Structure formats: structure tokens, C-alpha cells
Structure 1
Amino acid sequence: MRCTVRKEIQEAVGAYEDKPRDQWLFDYPAQVSLTGSQVWWATDVGIAFERVEEGFETALKDYNKKQITQLNSLIHMLLGDLSPGDRQKIMTICTIDVHARDVVGSLITQKVTNGQAFAWLSQLRHRWDEETGHCCVHICDAQFQFSYEYLGNTNRLVITPLTDR
């Protein structure tokens, strides 16, 4: 089971850029889509920080606009006809995306311009490590290998500043 979840996440992360996200997420089970989205969120924020350092001052704001567009696309899908499983998957991804949008908005408000700032490092960040072929989870200076345990397609708690702490 864990080998299958790992293989699916690896495939999903690799295929993320092959099609629009709102189509990509239907190609994979909920847990895989959610984890892949989290990997790409951390990757995209990292790319935005690199662009800021290259002189593109609005890179983080541009990414935040992309997040809002992606979130609006998911909300539009929720208003349509979906199977119960797909509806649950999209609602779960929406919940995590709202938090991700809020984090990036906070980084912008705090004028964070570097991926080494505590405001960014203190976030739970997923990364796919090509060398080891594993998903790694980072927070502050801690790094863990994703366990690939089956979580299913369940509700997620809304992440508030209090739960974030």
C-alpha cells in the first residue's frame, strides 16, 4: 500500500505541469492530488522567491494571483455536478489552498523576499526529492520523509492562525 501511494505521488508530481491543475487533480486519488498540490505549492513559492532575488519584485504577488485563479476554478467546479468523492477531494484541496493563499498573502504583507525567512521556513512544506525518490516534509529546520500511509478522502480542518500556531 505504501509503495503504491509513493508511486502515485511520484507520478502525480511529475505530471503536474502537463495539463491545467483543475484537470490534473481528476487523474489521481484524493490523497495523491492533495500531496502533489502541496509539493507544487512549496515549489512555486520557492520559484517566486528566486525570481524576487533576480529582480522581479512582483513575483510573489504574481504567484498569489495565480493561487486566487486556481482557487476560483476549484470553487466553480464545486458549484457544478460532481461525484461525492470528487466533491470531497475538491473541498479538501480548497481548504488547503485557502491556507496556502493566506500564507503567501502574509509573506507579501510582511515584505518577505527570501526563502530563508522564518515566516516561510515555519510553514509545513512538502518537497519531492528526485535523488531519493521520496516526498520530504519540512518545517523550520526539521525534515521528515513522508510516510505514505493511506489517509483516504476525508475532511480537513480549516487552518486558522490559532491552529497554525
Structure 2
Amino acid sequence: MELYEYARPRLMAGKKILYVHGFASSGQNGSVKTLRLLMPEATVLAPDLPVEPSDAMNLLMNMTASDKPDLVIGTSMGAMYAEMLYGVDRILVNPAFQLADTLLKNNGLGRQEYHNPRQDGETSFLVTKTLLEHFREVSSHCFERASEDQDKVFGLYGVHDTLVHTFDLFCEHYP
């Protein structure tokens, strides 16, 4: 049985998609593989994000400026970062706008294992209270220019997500 059916594999032909992964994931995850399978004529850029939020945001802003993606797709933590890449069409999948609080409530402190292989070979990382504060600082800038980008952002929420609950917050800024 086929896992996917699609009618328009050329939809993004010749276009660039920047995929921004979620917490403890990597640019080599299953979503990236699926995007490349479903849209073989698109270029899918999928960096491994640094753990430090300001470093991750700087990497993404630099990539957006230099690579000029036609579309940014972010999932969970990556969707939180993607929201702040203003001026580009973006799809935010279950964005974790309150990642620090989510991690704190769900035993996210301490040593965490990556869910997917990373290009740097790292297999784990440490989440400290200081890192949570850094996530709070970076995420405090979400929605700063939302009023300018109303037609560039699409929120996609799973009804069975048990960790991230930011639909109402998203709707406040993108009605």
C-alpha cells in the first residue's frame, strides 16, 4: 500500500523550500525525506539547528537572506523560529511558541537524545534552566511583525497533539 498519494509533484519545481525541524530532531528527519520524495524537482534545504536558540535563529535568518527560499515549513520548535522569518511564505506546523514552558512541564530538562542522526554526529544535548531562558528570550519576539505578514503565514495544527497547545495564541495574531 502506498503511504502517499499526490497529484502535483511539479508544484514546487525549480523552487526552494527551507524546512526547519523541531526540538531534538534534525534536517535528516522523515518529514524532509517525504518532502523530497513528493516534490523531487524542488530543492529542500534542511539544516541541523544549533541547540542555542539565538544561534539557530541567526542561522535561519542568514539562510533566508542568502538562499531566498520560496517557502519555509517549520514544525514545532522549528515553526516557532519560522514565524519570525518575515517576508517569506511560511507554513507553521504545530508551532511551539511557548517551548520553554512546554519543556518544563514535560520533563524536558537534562540530557536529551536526538531523534534523528545529525551531520555533526552529535547524539545528545543538555537542556538547562539557562537554555530554557534563552528559548523564552527568542520566542518573546514571535508575532512582532505578524500584522505585516498576514497573507504569508499558514498555521497547521494536529488535533491529537498532546504537547503543544498554541492554536488560540496563533489565532490572536493571525485571525
TM over 0.5: no
TM-score by length of 2: 0.31
Higher-RCO chain (CA-CA 8 Å, sequence separation at least 6): 1
Larger helix proportion, structure 1 or 2?
A: 1
